[in-house]
Amino acid sequence: MNTARIVVLTIAIGAGGIAADPASGSDNKPAAPAFVAKSDIGLGQTVKPEDMQWQTWPSATASNSFIRRTDKPDATTQFAGSIARAPFIAGEPIRELKLVKADGSGFMAAILPSGMRAISTEISPETGAGGFILPNDRVDVILSRRVKSPDPAAPDIAVSEIILSNIRVLAIDQAPKEKDGTNALVGKTVTLELKPEQSEMLARARQSGSLSLALLSIADGKATTVATVDNTLITVFRGTTSTDVLSCAPLCVRR
């Protein structure tokens, strides 16, 4: 049983105790009904009335984001048919921000944040971190290509650069979530969440060379900014005495 599930169950049990004896609450406020998931609700699942219920919840731990019966007495009917933008575990309070009305649109269009685009590109076990990249992970997109050397006698130069950083993975193939107990998912396509200008960049990059995905750690994926470096300058060493600095945007030439 994971930590989140234990926390939710502990609070729920406490809620039952406070409901039985309101005076035992730390702030002496009576427990109030909160709208919670009756069973586990997966990412992208269409929520049905039987998936939700009202449950007594201690006022001292109730968040302002909780749905209360005094505010939305018909919540079961109101939210039925919504799509879960994030998973819920049984007993977890339902928040409106984690639900969205599809209004006839497809699942991906429903969960995509405003202003963002979903764009897919081909991957393989070699270019997709061996299948260990899963939906909701974050990745760097690396473009690898060969450019002509300014020296006609020299071979082409292999160039790799990070073109997109800290990008959210929406789906692998048609799977928007990993299966229970799965820690690897090998697919042929990956769908990424990008801004419009990033979508254009990715489309151009696909025509320029091969793309690879580098999986970020959870700590790095939560960072709001990612350090970038100037990947347009490349130093070419010839032996121990001769070097050239090449500017590779878009083709490599001597600086």
DSSP structure string for 159-190: EEEEEEEEEEEEEETTBSSPPTT------SEE
The pLDDT assigned to 201 comes to 93
Question: What's the pLDDT band for 134 if we cut at 50, 70, 90?
Answer: confident
| d(C-alpha 137, C-alpha 187), whole Å | 15
Domain 3-109: give its CATH architecture. Alpha-Beta Complex (3.90)
Q: Is 71 exposed, middle or buried (0-12, 13-18, 19+ CB in 10 A)?
A: exposed
Domain extent listing, the chain: 3-109, 117-228
Pair 231, 161: CB distance under 8 Å: yes
Q: Rounded to two decimals, what is the model's pTM?
A: 0.56
Q: For 193-214, how does the pLDDT look when each residue is reduced to its tens digit (9 = 90+)?
A: 999 999 999 999 988 888 888 8
For residue 25, CA distances in Å to 9, 11, 54, 186 come to 18, 13, 20, 50
